[in-house]
């Protein structure tokens, strides 16, 4: 994947949210300056469509995790609207990414350079860079 220089990279799952910057070249990403924004998960309507009896009994749906994904998206939306983000790549596990897409603002969509549906939180930076380069 071609990732513009200085592009933001949001790495998200149901509990973690890290934002990094590409300090490398577009075809040779080098991630630096990690930031872990403090989120307040308040959107508990997130994931309501996933709440069925079977999902609850089997533990497949966790409203806390989905609300965290929605809160991460709200943070990204605010940064995009304020003009603090010009290019953004979102890396998230499939369930979180699906929930995030439901909350993307138009301004964030304009700045989105790509998405990778893979769990990368907790991975070393070089593995994340490799996943971006191979996408």
Look at domain 8-134 and name its CATH class: alpha beta
First-last CA distance in the chain: 5
pLDDT at 61 (0 to 100): 54
pLDDT at 68 (0 to 100): 87
pLDDT at 64 (0 to 100): 77
pLDDT at 39 (0 to 100): 81
Q: How many CB atoms lie within 10 A of CB 70?
A: 23
Element (DSSP H or E) covering residue 73 = helix 63-82
pLDDT at 67 (0 to 100): 85
pLDDT at 60 (0 to 100): 52
pLDDT at 58 (0 to 100): 52
Could you report the average pLDDT of every consecutive run of 10 residues in the chain (135 residues)? 96 94 95 87 53 51 80 96 97 94 96 97 95 95
pLDDT at 41 (0 to 100): 62
What are the domain boundaries of the chain?
Answer: 8-134
Rounded-to-integer distance, Cα 14 and Cα 104, Å: 17
Q: What is the pTM of this model?
A: 0.85
Q: Which residues contact 69 (CB under 8 A, 6 or more apart)?
A: 12, 14, 46, 92, 95, 96, 97, 99, 100, 103
Q: How many CB atoms lie within 10 A of CB 106?
A: 9
């Amino acid at each position: 994947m071609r990732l513009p220089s200085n592009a933001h990279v949001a790495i998200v799952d149901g509990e973690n949210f890290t934002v990094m910057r590409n300090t490398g070249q577009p075809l040779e990403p080098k991630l630096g300056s990690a930031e872990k924004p403090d989120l307040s998960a308040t959107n508990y309507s997130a994931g309501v469509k996933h709440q069925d009896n079977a999902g609850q009994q089997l533990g497949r749906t966790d409203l806390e995790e989905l609300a965290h994904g929605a809160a991460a998206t709200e943070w990204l939306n605010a940064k995009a609207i304020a003009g603090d983000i010009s290019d953004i790549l979102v890396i998230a596990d499939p369930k979180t990414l699906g929930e995030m897409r439901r909350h993307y603002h138009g301004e964030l969509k304009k700045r989105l350079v790509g998405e990778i549906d893979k769990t990368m939180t907790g991975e070393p930076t070089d593995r994340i860079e490799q996943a971006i380069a191979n996408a």
